[in-house]
Chains A and B, each alone.
Chain A
Amino acid sequence: MDSARPKERPTAFDRMLAPVHRWIWSDTDRRVQKLLRFSETETDGGRDILRAAEVTSDPLLRRLYLEHAIDEFRHGVLFRHRAAALLKVSPSGSNPGFQGDWLAPGGHGLDDLQVDGESDSDMLAFLHLSEKAAASRFTIYREVMRHDPPTRAVFEEILHDETFHMNYTLTQLARVEPERHRRHLWRARLSRIWKAYLRLATGVAGILGSMLLTIQYFVLLPPFAWLAKRAARREPSGWTMVSPGQSASLDRQY
């Protein structure tokens, strides 16, 4: 059985991109940003898997998911600590990153995993493919990280866990769906492709939207900006009186 289990191995696509990865990871600041993003992803993933542990009715899966979730949280910590260590030696100094959230998106992403609605088999298939993809990518990262042994060691360690996760999810999928586990894997693959398309489409739409809005900002807004600034200058500071009828009607959105 063990020999049939998948081992971590980079996909052809990832191998092809190795020079790009090498370039990305060669810069300390980029490395910090990537590690911090990984930290968030692993922690978020841990929460999803934790949720899966809470909603499954299968006691064995519950225990495995819990262990898995704890691993993901640990990976988040490992990435964050490594990023913090690199920040100390970063030539550009520390960059605390985004701080305000008055523009908080106020929703979940398009590809958010809806754990509560997933069956055990769908969840296992999804996890298996995610872990496999992560293992493939992390194998490449480990290889391009020869110039940074501590970061390489982090990937090495996480890769070890990812291989276990990849294997147990496949074994369990075969246990809970002995007849149809391949079908679940294919469905999960298609779902990943669809989600990748959604991410790409959203990304492209986002860029186009930003471009159009930026053009509008500079072309259409200046006269309104002038008026708004003039109005702001005339605005008294301090209290603004609230007239009794100002918010009397609850039908209005303004």
Chain B
Amino acid sequence: MKILGISAHYHDSAAALVVDGVPVCAVQEERLSRHKGDAAFPLLAIESCLQHAGIAPDELDAVVFYERPMLKFDRILTCALRAFPQSWRAFPKAMKNSLGEKVWMRGIISSYLGVPGRKVLFTEHHQSHAAAAFLTAPTRRAAIMTADAVGEWATLSVGDGERLLNGATIIRRFREIRFPHSLGMLYSTFTAYLGFKVNEDEYKVMGLAAYGQPKLVEQVRKLIRRTPDGAFALDLNYFEFHTTAERSYSSRFIELFGPPRNPYEPIDLDTAEGQRFADCAASVQRVLEDTIVELAQALHQETGLTDLCFGGGVALNGVANARLLAESGFERIFVPSAPGDAGCAIGAALYCDRVHFGNSDRDLPDHPFWGPSVDGSELARLAREDGHYAVEFQDGALIDQVADDLAAGHIVGWMEGALEFGPRALGHRSILAAPHTAEMRDRLNREIKYREPFRPFAPVVPIETAARYFDIPPGGTRLARFMSGVFPVRREWRSRLQAITHVDGTARLQALEPTMAPRLHALLEAYGRRTGIPVLLNTSFNLAGEPIVNRAVEGYSAFLRCKIDVLVAGGTRVIKRPSATARTQVDKLKIREEVA
């Protein structure tokens, strides 16, 4: 049975193809269209999935959209009515937006793919999140929690899932919290208040939080109160996201927290103003964690289960995930590699296969590499055309050479195999570097990633030796599989792992199993043999404002525009000819910034 899952039209569109119960391809539209966070209908992603499997659209048994468009429209219209007359500006925009395209998904899918309308199906948004979290996790029975900004009406749901011995699958949602009461919207409101981009820069708030003290927790608690039944409700007097499209916080919010940050001004943590913003971030982070932990504790008591599958955009918060593991009572927490809306494409397709069609459960490969593969020969051709040094290696020799490069302090763009599905680079489209000095972190921020200095870099370490360098609690390696948890760097190693140790002594580590990415694992071991510490800095292979690279040519263009020293794709290793290293994009921007 061939089922295509689609998520689109909010942010981060994606498509996923499930054949005979197993995903064969899943890719985010942004990786192909090269528009970061592309929300458009994922035609390129669909084409890529179908091409990968070698099937035509009319061979599909079903196409599943990840949410119910009319139910979502119902929420948008109802909210506009409830906010009458303040919603008068937002109303025309909302209607044009929804009625222009979004509510006609059956017809749109049908016409784009040429499949009959009866083959187009719809899951609920949080049903898709729940399925993505549970059906990709290696567990037979687990509690399920999903939390994001908003789906149709639900913003958070709890339930459970079970794989029965007869092969049947059950996913139940017990209850949900509905819009506008939303943990995701609370966090996003602070994201906007702190001058970052909503739905894109929430992780910056998390990074900034480590620099602050949760001094404003009491104020944040005024915004979100717990209800007698154990849920929560936002005090809507402090928000405007439910009434306008212009601003997500109200004047009362500003009275409580002070003036918002100008997004065009850098955050200077040495000033009182910069510290206030960091304290805001730390406070909302703390309240988010407390709320999530309490909800999960209640779910644990209710279900008595040992495993929790956690999905939705909030599950990208690694600090909260680590606290969940430590305090909720669950022994293992499963967060998929793409817990956000993109992952709903895979969730919707799997839900359709297991629950709607009732197909037997299948064990799924436990890795995030579902995208198109990289072609090393393409890189070799491009580099030679431009006069750069390209050498194609046998595998062992390449690993040794790259380990030497890294040990010599070079920064390596590393592309191998299939592209990751989800926001994290987990070793197939990564920038790798030695993790030992703060200078390396600063160099990466300054010369390659071109980003705020308060943002940390993540490490990758072989799972066998992870506990030596990081204080990982029981069950922590599962969270660390897809970089979903933040754990302390052991005190004795912090001075030797400065580039990946955040200001609070933690790191969002990836603990790598040899079977998941064998070449990267071999590289870590080879690097460890040279330096004594088999840990590398692993950051996503992209430049500021761009999606993670997909094909060799995109890695190559990023390589030429920044100060990555070595580029590897498949078995090909490229270094720049000396004249090309003189002026990169970053140099130009830096020079002009100084002038400006």
Q: Which residues of A are in contact with B by a Cβ distance under 8 Å?
A: 43, 47, 50-51, 53-55, 59, 62-63, 66, 69-71, 73-74, 77-78, 80-85, 87, 94, 96-108, 154, 206, 209-210, 213-214, 217-218, 221-222, 224-225, 227-229, 232, 237-242, 244, 247, 250-254
- In the complex where A102-B241, A228-B81, A229-B84 touch, is A250 in contact with B352 (Cβ < 8 A)? yes
Q: Smallest Cβ distance from B586 to chain A, in angstroms?
A: 9
Instruction: Give the chain B neighbours of A213 by CB distance below 8 A.
Output: 91-92, 95-96
Question: Could you list 6 A-B pairs, sorted by A, with CB under 8 Å?
Answer: A47-B545, A73-B589, A74-B588, A77-B593, A82-B596, A213-B92
Q: Which of B8, B88, B192 contacts A100 (CB 8 A)?
A: B192
Q: Smallest Cβ distance from A116 to chain B, in angstroms?
A: 9
Instruction: Give the chain B neighbours of A227 by CB distance below 8 A.
Output: 81
Residues 82-114 of chain B, each 1 if its beta carbon lies under 8 Å from chain A, else 0: 101100101111111100011101100000000
Residues 571-596 of chain B, each 1 if its beta carbon lies under 8 Å from chain A, else 0: 00000000000001100110011001
A98:B246 contact, CB within 8 angstroms: yes
B230:A239 contact, CB within 8 angstroms: yes
A108 to B82, CA, bound (A): 30
Tell me whether B492 is interfacial, beta carbon within 8 Å: no
- In the complex where A96-B261, A229-B84 touch, is A102 in contact with B150 (Cβ < 8 A)? yes
Tell me whether B263 is interfacial, beta carbon within 8 Å: yes
B195:A96 contact, CB within 8 angstroms: yes
Q: Which of A82, A96, A225 contacts B84 (CB 8 A)?
A: A225
- In the complex where A59-B386, A100-B192 touch, is A240 in contact with B35 (Cβ < 8 A)? no
Residues of B238-277 contacting chain A, CB below 8 A = 241, 244-248, 260-265
Instruction: Give the chain B neighbours of A102 by CB distance below 8 A.
Output: 149-150, 241, 245
B96:A59 contact, CB within 8 angstroms: no
Tell me whether B19 is interfacial, beta carbon within 8 Å: no
- In the complex where A225-B84, A240-B177, A250-B64 touch, is A106 in contact with B34 (Cβ < 8 A)? no
Instruction: Give the chain B neighbours of A237 by CB distance below 8 A.
Output: 181, 227, 231, 233
A101:B11 contact, CB within 8 angstroms: yes
Chain B CB within 10 Å, residue with most, of A99, A105, A206, A217? A99
B88:A214 contact, CB within 8 angstroms: yes
B149:A106 contact, CB within 8 angstroms: no
Q: Smallest Cβ distance from B349 to chain A, in angstroms?
A: 11
Q: Which of A106, A244, A250 contacts B122 (CB 8 A)?
A: A250
Tell me whether B290 is interfacial, beta carbon within 8 Å: no
Instruction: Give the chain B neighbours of A43 by CB distance below 8 A.
Output: 545
B386:A252 contact, CB within 8 angstroms: no
A47:B92 contact, CB within 8 angstroms: no
A224 to B81, CA, bound (A): 7
Instruction: Give the chain A neighbours of B175 by CB distance below 8 A.
Output: 239-242
A240:B585 contact, CB within 8 angstroms: no
Tell me whether B468 is interfacial, beta carbon within 8 Å: no
- In the complex where A63-B386, A100-B247, A238-B230 touch, is A106 in contact with B102 (Cβ < 8 A)? yes
A43 to B78, CA, bound (A): 37
- Chain B residue with minimal CB distance to A86? B264
A84 to B266, CA, bound (A): 10
Q: Smallest Cβ distance from A252 to chain B, in angstroms?
A: 7
Give the segment of B66-74, B133-141, B360-368, B399-407 that binds chain A: B66-74
B71:A254 contact, CB within 8 angstroms: yes
Instruction: Give the chain A neighbours of B97 by CB distance below 8 A.
Output: 103, 105-106
Instruction: Give the chain B neighbours of A154 by CB distance below 8 A.
Output: 596
B596:A78 contact, CB within 8 angstroms: yes
B260:A217 contact, CB within 8 angstroms: no
- In the complex where A80-B264, A240-B176 touch, is A253 in contact with B68 (Cβ < 8 A)? yes
Residues 206-250 of chain B, each 1 if its beta carbon lies under 8 Å from chain A, else 0: 000000000000000000000111111100000001001111100
A209:B177 contact, CB within 8 angstroms: no
A81 to B585, CA, bound (A): 17
Instruction: Give the chain B neighbours of A254 by CB distance below 8 A.
Output: 68, 70-71, 74
Instruction: Give the chain B neighbours of A232 by CB distance below 8 A.
Output: 82
Q: Which of A71, A84, A250 contacts B264 (CB 8 A)?
A: A84
A238:B228 contact, CB within 8 angstroms: yes
B106:A253 contact, CB within 8 angstroms: yes
- Chain B residue with minimal CB distance to A53? B557
